[in-house]
Amino acid sequence: MGFMFFPDMLMAAKEMARVLKPGGRIAASYWWVAEKNPQAKLPDEFSQTHLKNSENAIPHFRFPDQNGHMISLQDPAFRNKVVIIQILGSWCPNCMDETAFLSDYYTKNRQRGVEVIGLAYEYTTDRERSLKSLQKFRDRYHVEYPMLITGVAVRPRPAGLRPIT
């Protein structure tokens, strides 16, 4: 009825190739059409992102790593270094791709003063279960930078609210 679900990216890519029309036009499920606009322009990306020139520009957080040690950007290990803050969940497909890249990048660049901190949002409030999921994730992607357990990725559903079926 206008919605298609693909269990993997390869199937999704094949379907998009099937429905792609000449001239950059995509029609899907008979209820929407996307057309490429060659005149479309985005504002200068550098004018859209910037750090505030103040002490508040550095995010202040403190979360436990997998061994229970509290880690913060203010720790000496991160002082005077470029720090990449990764927001992730071990359940997130995009985070898996990002982690594979960052793990390799960190290994190649940490000697140049680059650090990475992963802030993990898991599906459970059970710390042991989150630790287990995160450890499997770290092992799979050979992660050597700290991953901190920050909280739960989803909120409980309000009482009486049911999913659409």
Distance set, CA 31 to CA 1, 13, 23, 28 (Å): 9, 19, 19, 7
What pLDDT is stored for residue 156 in this prediction?
Answer: 54
Residue 9 pLDDT exceeds 80: no
Our CA dihedral for 37, 43, 49, 54, rounded to 10 degrees, sits at -160
Residue 131 and residue 65: Cα distance in Å, rounded? 9
What pLDDT is stored for residue 102 in this prediction?
Answer: 96
Domain map (residue ranges) of the chain: 1-48, 56-152
**In this predicted structure, which of 2-11, 33-42, 46-55, 79-88 has the lowest mean pLDDT?**
2-11
Q: Which residue has the higher pLDDT, 103 or 57?
A: 103
What pLDDT is stored for residue 96 in this prediction?
Answer: 93
In percent, the amount of the chain with pLDDT more than 90 equals: 41
Which residues lie closer than 8 Å to 127 by C-beta, 6 or more apart?
A: 149
- Per the prediction, the chain carries an average pLDDT of 78
Average pLDDT over residues 62-84: 91
Q: Which residue has the higher pLDDT, 97 or 155?
A: 97
Q: Which residue has the higher pLDDT, 40 or 51?
A: 40
Residue 40 and residue 37: Cα distance in Å, rounded? 5
Pairing relationship of beta strands 32-35 and 25-28 according to DSSP bridges? antiparallel
CATH 3.40.30.10 for domain 56-152, yes or no, is: yes
**Would you tell me the crossing angle of helices 127-141 and 93-109 to the nearest 10 degrees?**
60
What would the pLDDT profile of 45-72 be if each residue is shown by its tens digit?
677 666 666 666 677 889 998 898 999 9
